[in-house]
Amino acid sequence: MLATFGTFARIAKPHERSAVFALANIIAYLGNSVPAILGGIAVTILGLRTASEIYALAIAMIAFSVLLLRLNQVRGRRRDVMATRG
């Protein structure tokens, strides 16, 4: 998260920084609190084991999606490099 703030500080203009940092904090807060709240609701409704299995499956699906997107990005860069060489 700290590296993100450094990037924001370089990219944002001085008069925009407070709004950018506030938005980053809101996103970070929601990214941590919403899954916890939904997890608590799911445990209440479905039980701990089922909610944990669904949560683990969701995390695995997100991780797999990120892997596919990253592989696609690497492939595209490799294709671009090959096109400029040949």
Q: Domain coordinates of the chain in residue numbers?
A: 1-46, 47-86
Query: Higher pLDDT residue, 81 or 60?
Result: 60
CA 2 to chain centre: 15
Q: If DSSP codes are grouped into helix, strand and coil, which group holds residue 41?
A: helix
**Integer Cα distance of 53 and 11 in angstroms:** 40
Instruction: Note the pLDDT of residue 1.
Output: 61
Question: To the nearest whole number, what is the mean pLDDT of the chain?
Answer: 91
Mean pLDDT value of segment 70-74:
95
Instruction: Note the pLDDT of residue 46.
Output: 97
